[in-house]
């Protein structure tokens, strides 16, 4: 019985894999907006902006917020360093915070560069024409 269920499941899975391209080819007459699902926002009352640009804006906003946090940490550690009064432990703690914030800022800047590069190339690969500027 187990072999029958396994063989039957394998046959059904193989049939679905073989017939899947036929179902996909049936949708080639749709417009690019319909294929991307950009018209659904009109009927639901939501925005009709492209999902790729929306995700890119969210990533840029999050990375900008994180960059601001790093700058605030650097300023805080600088004030802590200046007001340490020559105490070595306070100066060492402030130096650790500054180095950590600078390292975090470098990671955030590289993440921003990578995400901008990837989203720009994905957008260029999927849309014919120029990229709209925000």
Domain-wise residue ranges, the chain? 47-124
Residue 75 — very low, low, confident or very high, per pLDDT cuts 50/70/90?
very high
What does the pLDDT read at residue 13?
Answer: 74
pLDDT band at 123 (very low <50, low <70, confident <90, very high): confident
Which pLDDT value is given to residue 27?
52
Burial status of residue 42 (CB atoms within 10 A of its CB: 0-12, 13-18, 19 or more)? exposed
132 has a pLDDT exceeding 90: no
> CA–CA separation, 90 vs 97, rounded Å?
11
- Whole-structure pTM over 0.85, yes or no? no
């Amino acid at each position: 019985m187990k072999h029958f269920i396994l063989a039957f499941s394998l046959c059904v899975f193989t049939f679905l894999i073989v017939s899947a391209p036929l179902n996909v080819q049936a949708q080639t007459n749709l417009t690019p907006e319909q294929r991307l699902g950009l018209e659904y926002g009109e009927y639901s009352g939501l925005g009709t902006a492209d999902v790729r640009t929306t995700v890119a804006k969210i990533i840029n906003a999050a990375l900008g917020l994180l960059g601001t946090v790093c700058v605030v940490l650097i300023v805080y550690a600088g004030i802590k360093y200046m007001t340490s009064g020559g105490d070595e432990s306070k100066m060492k703690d402030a130096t650790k915070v500054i180095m950590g914030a600078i390292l975090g800022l470098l990671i955030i800047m590289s993440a921003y560069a990578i995400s901008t590069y990837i989203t720009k190339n994905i957008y260029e690969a999927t849309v014919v024409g120029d990229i709209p500027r925000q």
